[in-house]
Amino acid sequence: MSAFMDKDFLLDTDVAQRLYHDVAATLPIIDYHSHLIPREIAGRRRFANLAELWLGGDHYKWRLMRSCGITEDFITGDRPVRQKFDAFCRILPLAIGNPIFHWSHLELRRLFGIDLPINARNADAIWEQANARLAHMDTWSFLEQARVDIACTTDDPADDLAEHRAIGASALKTRVIPAYRPDSAMAINAPGFPAYLEKLGSRIGVPIASFAALIDALIDRIDTFDAAGARISDHAIDVPLADVIPATDVAERLFAKRMRGEALSPAEIGEYHSVMLDRLGRAYAERNWAMCLHIGALRDVNTRMVGRIGQATGYDSIADHSYAKGLAALLDSMERDDQLPKTMLFCLNPAMNEVLGAMIGNFQTGPVKGKIQYGPAWWFNDHKEGNLEQFVTLANLGALGTSVGMVTDSRSFASYPRHEYYRRLLCRQLGRWVQDGEYPDDSEALDTIVRGICHQNARDYFGF
C-alpha cells in the first residue's frame, strides 16, 4: 500500500515513475488558458491569508462546501475569513476521490511546503504556517515558483490592455499574454448588450450600429491584441450552432431585431453565433491564431441563488444539446475556402468525447501537427477519470502525441499544481500501455511524447 500522496502518487508502474520524475516534472508550464486577472499580476497583489487565496472566487470549492452542508454565510457571506477556512478544512475529508481533495493537498505542499492532511485537527497549524509564508509572497511568487513560462489571460476586446503593457515592461520572468475573449459581443440577448456596443465603439472611436460594424470593430481589436502578442481566441458555445451557416444579411436582421429591444430565440442565437464565428475564424486564420471553442455549459441554473449572489458563483452545469452538426458546418464553411484556423474543441459533456475525437480528424491538414485539437478535460471533466478518458479517446481516434496539453482554466494563482496532477496522470497512462505490451519500452519515443504534450507542442502550436 502506498503512503498518502507520496512521491509516486498516481504513478503505478516503473515506466510512469521514470517518465514523470525524469521528464515531466522538469518541464516549465505553458498555461494557454486561464482566468488570472492582469491587474493583480501588474500590481503584484498580496493575499492577506490562506482563506483569501483559496476561497475567494473559487466556485469549485464553493460547490463542494455547499454539497457538504456548509451554509452560504460561510462561503460567499460575511462570516470571518478564519471561520470560512475552518469550515473548508472540516469538510474536505468528506471529499474522498474528488480532485479538489488532491489539488488542495498539492497546493499546500508545493506552495508552502506543508505536508499535513487538511482537516479540522490540522487547521490551526496549516493556517499559521501558510500565512507566515504568504506574508512574503505575491502574484509573481506563484508564477515564478511554479515555473510558469507563459500564462495567457482572457481579455475582452474592449479592454485597453494597459496592465499587459505594464507587465511586459516589468521584470516578471513569466511572459503574460492576452487572449481574445469576445463573449460580450456574442451575448446578444444579454441586458447589457447595447451598452457593451457603446463601450466597444468608444474603444475604437466608431459607433456600432450594425452587425457589419460590430465585426469590423472586433477585427480592429484582433489586430490590437495581435500587436500585444496574442495568438489565441476563446469563445463559449452555449447553444447549438446553425446546421448551415446563414448569410450575413441574416445576422444583420437578427442584430436589428435585438437593437429594437426584442429577444432572440435559442435557434436565432445559434444563427447569430455561427455567422460571427465564421467571420472571426477567417480573421484568426489570416493571423495564424488558434481559435478555442468551449462547448456545452448550462450556466446559472439556480436562479434564486444567482439573483442573490450573482453570476459565475458555482451554479453552472452540463448541457446535453447536440452540437455536432452545427460545429461541423462551421468548420467546413471555413475549410472550403482554406480559411480554417487552428482550432481547439473543448466540450463539457463527456458523452460528446467521441464526437469531438472523431470531429477533429475531419479537418486535419498539414503542415500543422494536430491543427484541430481535442482539448484537455475541462471543468466538470477535470478529474482523474476525466483526464484518463481524454487521453484514451484522443489515442483511440487521433494522435495523443500531438496534444498541446493542460490548462488551469482558473482564477486562482494557487492552481498551478493542477499541471502536476495532469502530468502524473499522463505518465500513468503511458506507463500502463507499456506494461500491457501495447507500446514498446522505448525511452526516446516516450520522452518525446511527454515533452511534447507537457510543453513543446503548445509552444510550437501557438507560436510562442
Dihedral class, residue 213 (left if φ above 0, else alpha if ψ from -120 to 50, else beta): alpha
Neighbours of 21 (CB within 10 A): 14
List, for residues 310-362, the tens digit of each pLDDT value.
999 999 999 999 999 999 999 999 999 999 999 999 999 999 999 999 999 99
Residue 335, C-alpha cell as written in the block? 475549410
Cα separation, 291 vs 288, in Å, equals 10
User: What CATH code would you report for 14-47+136-462?
Assistant: 3.20.20.140
Tell me what pLDDT residue 1 has. 73
**pLDDT given at position 166:** 98
The Cα–Cα gap between 17 and 7 comes to 9
Are 144 and 174 spatial neighbours (Cβ–Cβ below 8 Å)?
yes
Q: Going by DSSP bridges, is the β-strand pair 342-347/290-295 parallel, antiparallel, or unpaired?
A: parallel
CA distance 108 to 111: 6
pLDDT of residue 92: 98
> Which regions of the chain carry the CATH code 1.10.2020.10?
48-135
- Three-state SS for the chain is CCCCCCCCCCCCCHHHHHHHHHCHHHCCEEECCCCCCHHHHHCCCCCCCHHHHHHCCCHHHHHHHHHCCCCHHHCCCCCCHHHHHHHHHHHHHHCCCCHHHHHHHHHHHHHHCCCCCCCCCCHHHHHHHHHHHHCCCCHHHHHHHCCEEEEEEEECCCCCCHHHHHHHCCCCCCEEEEEECCHHHHCCCCCCHHHHHHHHHHHHCCCCCCHHHHHHHHHHHHHHHHHCCCCEEEEEECCCCCCCCCCHHHHHHHHHHHHCCCCCCHHHHHHHHHHHHHHHHHHHHHCCCEEEEEECEECCCCHHHHHHHCCCCCCCEECCCCCHHHHHHHHHHHHHCCCCCEEEEEECCHHHHHHHHHHHHCCCCCCCCCCEEECCCCHHHCCHHHHHHHHHHHHHHCCHHHCCCCCCCCCCCCCCHHHHHHHHHHHHHHHHHHHCCCCCCCHHHHHHHHHHHHHHHHHHHHCC
Q: Delimit the CATH 3.20.20.140 region(s) of the chain.
A: 14-47+136-462
Angle, alpha carbons 117-121-125 (nearest 5°): 75
Segment 106-160, tens digit of pLDDT:
999 999 999 999 999 999 999 999 999 999 999 999 999 999 999 999 999 999 9
Question: Cell for 81?
Answer: 475569513
Amino acid letter, 324 = A
Q: How far is CA 69 from its chain centroid?
A: 28
Give residue 174's region: left, alpha or beta (phi > 0; psi -120 to 50). Answer: beta
Quickly tell me which residue has 487521433 as its cell: 398
Q: What is the mean pLDDT of each run of 10 residues along the chain (464 residues)?
A: 93 98 98 97 98 94 98 97 98 98 98 97 98 98 97 97 98 98 97 97 97 98 98 97 96 98 97 98 98 97 96 95 96 98 96 96 96 97 97 98 96 96 98 98 98 98 96
Residue 247, pLDDT score:
95
**Residue 57: predicted pLDDT:** 87
Fold of 48-135: uronate isomerase, domain 2, chain A (1.10.2020)
Q: What is the pTM of this model?
A: 0.96
Phi then psi for residue 124, to 5 deg, are: -60, -50
Q: What is the distance between the alpha carbons of residues 148 and 66, in angstroms, rounded to a whole number?
A: 32
Q: Which of 53, 64, 51 is nearest to 314 (CA)?
A: 64
Q: Which of 373, 350, 378, 347 is nearest to 360 (CA)?
A: 373
Helix axes 324-336, 266-286, angle to 10 degrees: 30
